[in-house]
């Protein structure tokens, strides 16, 4: 075949082929090495069926899901308010943005024990740690979004008699929407990470507890089945956010 006559297949075909190849590789590698740390795909799939019939595991998934939902909701509210407050004026922007970025840059895992001491070993510490991961991407995106507003739009609105609330409602919010959803997409995975880390550390329940248990008791098949379920959760949230992001940024 000459290079000219070669037509690349549609993207979904090549993508599906790559994934298939990886799955086959997984199966082969899983059968070759020690089954203490790694399991072939076929075993993970059959374990998946059994662990998701396990009431305890289902309970853990449900626990993690609602902790994540609360954590994410709080991240959005706090992050939005914080971002708006920082972006409110030149003064607040110049004063507080560096502080915000500094806090964002801290590897938060180092302060996890303090979260647990303060919020206890129940769901509160997991929610709080999730929020501490989710709120910064949102706040920073909101600040960036507000900074991007064209001053002329505001000047024009003021000349037409717009009140502060009208400027916020008709200009700031719609202008902000795309960056807010970008922030929410980043925050959703960050919050999940925070929640899982806290669950791993405290290990009193939730998915994190089971990943630890399966890992330490050399049941990699179950571990990977659980990871697959978690990944699915993350992908679903991510894609929902991306849809919203696209929906609200059609005009850009």
Partner 1 sequence: MTNETGRGAMAETLIKVEDVSHVFPAPDGGGEVIALEGIDIEIGRGEMVSLIGPSGCGKSTLLNVIGGMIAPSQGAALIGGARVRGPRPKEVAYIFQESALLPWATILDNIKVSLEFQKAPRATRDQVAREALKAVGLDAFATSYPHQLSGGMKQRAALARALSLRTDVLLMDEPFAALDEQTRMIFSEDLSRLLANERKTILLVTHSLAEAVFLSDRIFVFTSRPGRIKAVLEVDEPHPRSPAFMTSPKFNDLRNRLYELLRDEVLAAIGKDRQGLA
Nearest of 30, 32, 51 to residue 42 by alpha carbon: 30
User: What residue has token string 């998934």?
Assistant: 61
Interface pick for partner 1 out of 3, 53, 161, 165 (rule CB under 8 A): 161
A 10 A CB-CB count for 219 gives 19
- Residue number, 122 or 174, with CB nearest to partner 1: 174
Residue 164 touches partner 1, criterion: CB under 8 A: no
- Residue number, 149 or 227, with CB nearest to partner 1: 149
Q: To the nearest whole angstrom, how small is the minimum distance from the Cβ of residue 186 to partner 1?
A: 22
- Residue number, 89 or 249, with CB nearest to partner 1: 249
- Residue number, 42 or 155, with CB nearest to partner 1: 155
- Residue number, 163 or 240, with CB nearest to partner 1: 163
Nearest of 229, 237, 215, 218 to residue 61 by alpha carbon: 229
Query: Per CB under 8 A, which region of 91-99, 121-129, 133-141, 162-170 contacts partner 1?
Result: 162-170
- The whole-angstrom separation of Cα 83 and Cα 26 is 44
CB 153 within 8 A of CB 167: no
Interface pick for partner 1 out of 1, 4, 36, 160 (rule CB under 8 A): 160
Please give the size of the binding site for partner 1, defined by CB under 8 A: 20
- The whole-angstrom separation of Cα 135 and Cα 206 is 22
Segment 123 to 152, residues that bind partner 1, using CB under 8 A: 150, 152
Q: To the nearest whole angstrom, how small is the minimum distance from the Cβ of residue 188 to partner 1?
A: 24
Segment 166 to 195, residues that bind partner 1, using CB under 8 A: 166, 170-171, 174-175, 177
A 10 A CB-CB count for 195 gives 31
Q: To the nearest whole angstrom, how small is the minimum distance from the Cβ of residue 40 to partner 1?
A: 51
In order, the DSSP letters of 179-236 are: HHHHHHHHHHHHHHHHHHHHHHHH-SSHHHHHHHHHHHTT-HHHHHHHHHHHHHHHHH
Q: To the nearest whole angstrom, how small is the minimum distance from the Cβ of residue 150 to partner 1?
A: 8
A 10 A CB-CB count for 97 gives 18
Residues that bind partner 1 (CB under 8 A): 150, 152-153, 155-162, 166, 170-171, 174-175, 177, 250-252
């Amino acid at each position: 075949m000459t290079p000219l006559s070669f037509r690349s297949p549609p993207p979904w075909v090549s993508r599906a082929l790559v994934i298939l190849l990886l799955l086959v590789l997984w199966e082969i590698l899983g059968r070759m090495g020690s089954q203490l740390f790694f399991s072939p795909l076929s075993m993970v799939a059959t374990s998946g069926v059994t662990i998701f019939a396990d009431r305890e595991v289902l309970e853990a998934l449900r626990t993690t899901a609602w902790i994540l939902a609360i954590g994410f909701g709080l991240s959005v509210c706090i992050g939005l308010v914080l971002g708006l407050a920082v972006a409110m004026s030149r003064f607040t922007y110049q004063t507080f943005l560096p502080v915000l970025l500094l806090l964002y840059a801290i590897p938060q895992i180092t302060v996890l024990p303090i979260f647990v001491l303060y919020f206890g070993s129940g769901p509160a510490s997991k929610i709080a740690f999730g929020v501490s991961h989710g709120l910064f991407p949102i706040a920073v995106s909101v600040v960036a979004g507000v900074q991007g507003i064209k001053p002329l739009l505001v000047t024009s609105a003021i000349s037409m008699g717009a009140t502060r609330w009208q400027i916020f409602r008709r200009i700031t919010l719609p202008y902000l929407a795309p960056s807010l959803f970008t922030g929410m997409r980043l925050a959703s995975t960050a919050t999940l990470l925070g929640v899982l880390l806290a669950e791993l550390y405290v290990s009193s329940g939730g998915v994190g507890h089971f990943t630890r248990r399966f890992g330490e008791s050399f049941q990699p098949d179950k571990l990977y089945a659980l990871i697959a379920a978690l990944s699915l959760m993350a992908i679903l949230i991510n894609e929902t956010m991306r849809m919203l992001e696209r929906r609200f940024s059609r005009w850009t």
